Amino acid sequence: MQVIQSVGQMQQFSENMRTQGKKIAFVPTMGFLHEGHLSLIDYGRKNADVLIISVFVNPTQFGEGEDFQEYPRDLVRDCEIARKARVDVVFVPEVLEMYPKDFQTYVTVESLSQPLCGAFRPGHFRGVTTVVAKLFNIVKPHIAIFGKKDFQQWVIIRKMVKDLNLDIEVIGLPTVREHDGLAMSSRNSYLTKEERDSALSLYQSLNMAKDMVASGERNVSQIVCKIKDFILSKPYTKIEYVKICSPDTLEDMETLEDKALLAMAVKIGKTRLIDNTLLEVAKEKANATDHVKIQNP
């Protein structure tokens, strides 16, 4: 396994691989790797010839007062994990090479960056799309793999790739959870024992919503109210948002139809956590009847 720090060296490595006809998979990360990252890495290993991950805590996606300084870092441990997962290259650029003093170019995905986390973290997604565009141009992958725990990020990057005609396949993989359901996140390391107990309410509320939908509830505000009450009944919790929206446009929904995204951001003490799930409305009676008809013509 190679650790590459320089942009030029990384580009040359990838260019050589491409000229040799090798397929490159890329997993961009902010490091402090966990099982969630490993599921992306495994997918990359199985679906390409060359597997590159980046470890870069990207300053432009953190706002004022956010946790850029405190964000957990452990490059030695990350490299050990990457080596065991048969990663070929860990790309670890320096902040000053990525953002030199007169840096002034940004990539923005407009509408999709406005709602949900975008409303509470102004500039966050501009930082994400800019750094991902840069990393794509440096690592030159054929496929890039993201976790759907950051569902909005995944939708935005998929849109950026389509709009800018980047010749890259964007893969989104399901959230990986702890044994009790807490979504894997590097930020879980911030939680005290008591906060972690409260943090479970995010996952539990996703299941509550699924149960409500299964019982026939279609009214979005009913579901959202119930979830908010439940989460706020736990100590240390402060809700940023709980929303049910279109998984494609991220626009608010009033009544559940077909598929909907339930997404939330909640502060547990000082730690901001996000989680989401897809709510799928079971087939309507009309279809069920059709099905019966086919079975019993």
Residues near a second copy (CB under 8 A) are 7, 11, 15, 18-19, 21, 103-112, 129-130, 133-134, 137-138, 140, 159-160, 163-167
**Structure-token match 């008809």, residue found:** 293
List 171's β-bridge partners, or say none: 145
Least distance in Å: CB of 99 to a second copy? 9
CB nearer a second copy, residue 52 or residue 112 = 112
Q: Which is nearer to a second copy, 131 or 184 (CB)?
A: 131
CA torsion sign for 129, 130, 132, 133 is: positive
Cβ-contact 1, 84 below 8 angstroms: no
Q: Would you say the C-alpha torsion 84, 86, 88, 90 has a positive or negative sign?
A: negative
Residue 235 carries which DSSP code? Answer: T
Nearer to a second copy, 107 or 281 (CB): 107
What are the backbone angles phi and psi of residue 256, rounded to the nearest 5°?
-65, 135
DSSP 8-state assignment for residue 181: S
CA distances from 109 to 99, 123, 177, 241, 279 (A): 20, 11, 29, 21, 25
- Please say which residue, 122 or 174, places its beta carbon nearer to a second copy: 122
Q: Which is nearer to a second copy, 98 or 206 (CB)?
A: 98
CB of 290 to a second copy, least distance (A): 32
The least distance separating a second copy from the CB of residue 77, rounded to whole angstroms, comes to 27
Distance CA 214, CA 177 (A): 22
Q: At 37, which amino acid appears? A: H
**Minimal distance, residue 266 CB to a second copy, in Å:** 28
Q: What is the DSSP string of 241-261?
A: EEEEE-TTT--B-SB--SEEE
- Burial letters for 261-276: b for 16+ Cβ neighbours within 10 Å, e otherwise? bbbbbbebbebbbbbb
Contact 41, 158 (CB under 8 A): no
What residues are annotated to the active site? Answer: 37
The minimum distance between CB 17 and a second copy, in angstroms, equals 11
